[in-house]
Amino acid sequence: MQYLLLQEEYRSLVDAKHILVAEMKDTLQKLCTMVADHMPLEEPNWQGVKRPWGCILSTKNEHYCDECPVEEICPCLHKQFSQ
């Protein structure tokens, strides 16, 4: 089956897709930040305390994304990694 669309109809479909992708990215970022701020790490830190890693977007302390539990799915484009 083939559909013929006007240019305006096609543009509105493309724009709706971009809006949906942007909304989903914002939702995913909020979820990733919440997990990074509240989920304790598996391994304790040097003091023997299991605490959340913390997200670079929500904490005032300087953190890196190296051990973040959601590093692989986080949509943030400005991730910081230690050298």
**56 touches 64 (CB < 8 A):** yes
Domain ranges across the chain:
7-83
Would the pTM count as exceeding 0.75? Answer: no
Chain segment 43-77, per-residue pLDDT in tens: 776 777 778 888 888 877 657 888 888 888 999 88
pLDDT grade for 78, boundaries at 50, 70 and 90:
confident
What is the structure's pLDDT at 62? 59
What is the structure's pLDDT at 61? 67
Model confidence at 36: pLDDT above 80: yes
Cα-Cα-Cα-Cα dihedral sign, residues 82, 41, 70, 27? negative
Chain segment 20-32, per-residue pLDDT in tens: 988 999 999 999 9
